[in-house]
Amino acid sequence: MGATLTNPLRVGLRQERVIPPQCLVIFGASGDLTHRKLIPALFELFRQRRLPSEFAVLGCARRPWSDEEFRSRMAEALAPEVKRHQSAWDQFAACLFYEPVDLQQPADAVRLGTRLEAIDKLKATRGNRTFYLSVSPAFYGSGCRSLAAAGLLKDPSRSRVVIEKPFGTDYASAEQLNRVVQSCGQEQQIFRIDHYLGKETVQNILVLRFANTIFEPIWNRNYIANVQITAAETVGVEERAGYYESSGALRDMVQNHLTQMLALTTMEAPGRFDPEAIRNEKAKVLQAARLANEEEPWKCCVRGQYSQGGSRVNPVAGYRQEPGVNANSTTETYVAMKLFIDNWRWQGVPFYLRTGKRLPKRLSEVVLTFHEAPVHLFDAAGGSPTANQLILRIQPDEGAGFVFEVKAPGSGMRSRPVDMHFSYDESFGEPSDEGYVRLLADAMLGDPTLFTRSDEVEAAWRLYTPLLELIEDAPWQLPIHPYEAGTWGPGAADNLLAEEGLMWRRP
C-alpha cells in the first residue's frame, strides 16, 4: 500500500523563505567539509535561485590562496557538478572570495573586518554576516573570541556564528564552551549544527506527530512497548582516524544524531511552531532521559569494534588495521544502549539506541513497537502475532512504514503481518535536499529551529556522562567486543534486549 499525495504536483511543493543579502564567511575553507558539503550546498541553493543577488562567500584559512585559486580549487572539487551546470557555476564562482586568515592572530581578525567591509561595498551585502567555524573544535572558543574582539559579533541582528560538531567532548567541556561563546555574543547568534536535523525525514518526525490526530493519543507508555533507534553505516573510519580515535561512536553519533532523533520522537507538543517553543520541549525531555542503569552503566551499554571481514575477493580491514589507528585501539566503532525517560508519557518504556560502522546496511530509523493485542483470537502465521510497529525511515529509503496484522488468504482465520509504507520518493518524486542545504539556508535566515541550543547540548552530554566516566576510569567494565566487519555488531548487544524477550529489528 503506498500513500500518495492527493495532488502530487511537482512544482509548488516547496515553500521557500527569502535569504537576506549577506556574506557567508567559512573558516577552515581549505578543509574537507568546505568542498565536500558547504560549497556544494551553496551551489545547490544558488541553482534553486534561493540565494539573493547581494551575496558573497568569503573562504578563510591559513593558506595564502587568492580569490582565483579558491575558485579553481572549488571548481576542481566539484568537477562533475560544475560540468553539468557550467554557466550557473561561472555566475556562482563570481561570488566566491578568499582571504588568508589565522583567527588566532588578532591582526588577522582586524584585516578580515576590513575585507568584509570591501565585500559589503562590492556585493551590497549590507553588513550581514554568517561566520561558519569549520575548524578544529579546539578553536571554537578562541575563534568566537577573536571575532568578538574584532567587533564582528556586535550586532546580533546582523551577525551569526555556526559551529560544527562536536560541541565539547563531555558535559564539563560543553558547559565551558557554552560559557565562552555566550560571552562573545547572544545565544540567538549561535547556531550549533547537527546535520541530522537538516534531514527532511528527521524534521518529518515533528510533522507526522503533530499534524495528524491519530498518532498523538497513542504516542505514550499506554500503547508503546519499546522504541529502537538505529543509525547503521557500511563505511569504516575512512581517513578520519585522527579525529575518530579520540571520539568513538558514543561521542561521534550517539550524543548528537541519535539523541536528536530521540528528542524529536519523545518531546511534548510545543505550544506553537516557534524555535524556542520547540527547543524548550527538546531540552525538557532530554533532561528527563537517563541510562537504564546509572549506578551500574555497564549493564545497559555494549561497545564493539569491527574486526577484519568481507570476502576473499573483497577483504575489509579491521578497525585496528586502518591507517592512523592504534594497533591496540580501544575506541568503539559500535555502541548500543538502553535508556529510560522519567516522565508521565514515557515512564517504564525502554529506548534502545545503536549505531555502528561497517554494519551490513546503511540505514537510520526509529521504530516504535506497540503493545501486543491483549488476547490472541487467531492463529498467527509466524507462531504468535507481530506487535504493530511504526517505522520512521530516516535514510536511505526515506519515508515511514506501519506493520500490522491482516487475515492471511485462505479458509482459516490465520493472521499475518503486512507493511503499509510511505515513500518520499514515490509521493513527491524529487530527492530531498542534502541536510547542509537546509541548515545553511536556515542559518543565513537566522532561523535557529533546527540547531541545538546550549541547554540541549548540555543535557545530551549529561545523559551519557556515567558511560564516558566509566570508559575513562574503568574501561575494563565496558570492554570492547569485536564484531566482524559486515555483521550487525557484537552478539553481546542482543543481551540488552533479550532480558525483556526482545530482539533488535533486522532491517
Tell me the per-residue interface mask from 353 to 382 with ligand BG6, x by CB under 6 A, - otherwise. -----------x------------------
Minimum CB distance to ligand BG6 smaller for 198 or for 318? 198
Q: Is 442 an interacting residue with respect to ligand BG6 (CB under 6 A)?
A: no
Q: Does 398 bind ligand BG6 (CB under 6 A)?
A: no
Q: How far is the CB of 100 from ligand BG6 (least distance, A)?
A: 28
> Using CA atoms, how far apart are residues 166 and 184, in angstroms rounded to an integer?
19
The nearer residue to ligand BG6, 241 or 339, going by C-beta atoms, is 241
- CB of 380: closest distance to ligand BG6 in angstroms? 35
Question: Helix, strand, coil: what percent of the chain each, to 5?
Answer: 40, 20, 40
332 binds ligand BG6 (CB under 6 A): no
Tell which residue, 489, 482, 483, 485, has the closest CA to residue 504: 489
Is 99 a residue that touches ligand BG6 (CB under 6 A)? Answer: no
Q: Which is nearer to ligand BG6, 230 or 364 (CB)?
A: 364
Least Å distance, CB 397 to ligand BG6, is 13
Determine if 456 is a binding residue for ligand BG6 (CB under 6 A). no
Figure out which of the listed residues 200, 252, 433, 458 binds ligand BG6, where binding follows CB under 6 A. Answer: 252
Tell me the closest approach of the beta carbon of residue 252 to ligand BG6, in angstroms. Answer: 5
Q: 3-state SS string over 326-359?
A: CCCCCCCCEEEEEEEECCCCCCCCCEEEEEECCC
Q: Are 266 and 285 in contact (CB under 8 A)?
A: yes
- Alpha-carbon distance of 251 to 253, in angstroms, equals 6
Smallest gap from residue 235 Cβ to ligand BG6 (A): 6
CB closest to ligand BG6, residue no = 252
> Does position 322 bind ligand BG6 by CB under 6 A?
no
CB 168 within 8 A of CB 180: no
The CB-of-230 to ligand BG6 minimum distance in angstroms stands at: 11
Distance in angstroms (rounded) separating the CA atoms of residues 130 and 162: 7
Q: Which positions from 25 to 64 touch ligand BG6 by CB under 6 A, shown as an x/- string?
A: ----------------------------------------
* Gap between the terminal Cα atoms of the chain: 19
Distances (CA, A) of 81 to 56, 264, 294: 20, 34, 49
Q: Which of 35, 85, 195, 257 is catalytic?
A: 257
Using a 10 angstrom Cβ sphere, with 0-12 exposed, 13-18 middle and 19 or more buried, the burial of residue 410 is: exposed
Our separate counts of H helices and E strands in the chain read: 17, 19
* 481 among known catalytic residues: no
Count interface residues toward ligand BG6 (CB under 6 A): 3
Grid cell, residue 220, equals: 505514550
Q: Which is nearer to ligand BG6, 44 or 252 (CB)?
A: 252
Task: State the cell numbers at 360.
Answer: 551490513
Q: Per rule CB under 6 A, is residue 164 in the interface with ligand BG6?
A: no
Which residues are 355's β-sheet partners? 231, 335
Closest separation in Å from C-beta 364 to ligand BG6: 6
Quick check: 233 binds ligand BG6 (CB under 6 A)?
Answer: yes
Q: Which residues make up the interface to ligand BG6 (CB under 6 A)?
A: 233, 252, 364
Catalytic residues: 257
